[in-house]
Amino acid sequence: MIPTLALQEAIRAQFLADGTIPLYVEPARIRAASVRPEQLPAIHLSGLRTEILGRASGGQIVAEVRAMAHLWAMQDGSGTAEGIAAAMMMALMDAPQANGFDIDEWERPTLAWTDQPGLDGAAHGAVALRAVIRWRE
């Protein structure tokens, strides 16, 4: 089994352990999802893409995993959306703690704000993540 869901959980745990993010985003709103949230602010982890790179020593499998962390928040002039996004970037500066797999490479996150028509003042930021992971079958 490819441990992509475990990586997603490790990213979520990193957000929850951050000193800023849980002040603004309720833990139940930091989750795996691929749809716009009804309640803001929220962070949705989605877009997992896995490419098997091959085998490593000892029967291990190596894969590149890409994911997106989507931030949805009201753009009300308070800077909340930007503050949450900055905290997300800092929380993911280093690789999250792996459980059941090893992270060989961790690419620093990148953030892009996207225009989303019909969001009535909500901001949408997408944080791109990339890791090379290794695990045993």
For the cut 70, the answer to whether the pLDDT of residue 78 exceeds it is: yes
CATH code of the domain made up of 4-136 = 3.30.2000.30
- Per domain, the residue ranges of the chain are 4-136
> How far apart are alpha carbons 72 and 109 in whole angstroms?
17
For the cut 80, the answer to whether the pLDDT of residue 57 exceeds it is: yes
For the cut 80, the answer to whether the pLDDT of residue 35 exceeds it is: yes
The dihedral built from the CA positions of residue 78, 80, 81 and 86, taken in this order, carries a sign that is positive
The 10s digit of each residue's pLDDT in 4-25 is 889 999 999 999 999 999 999 9
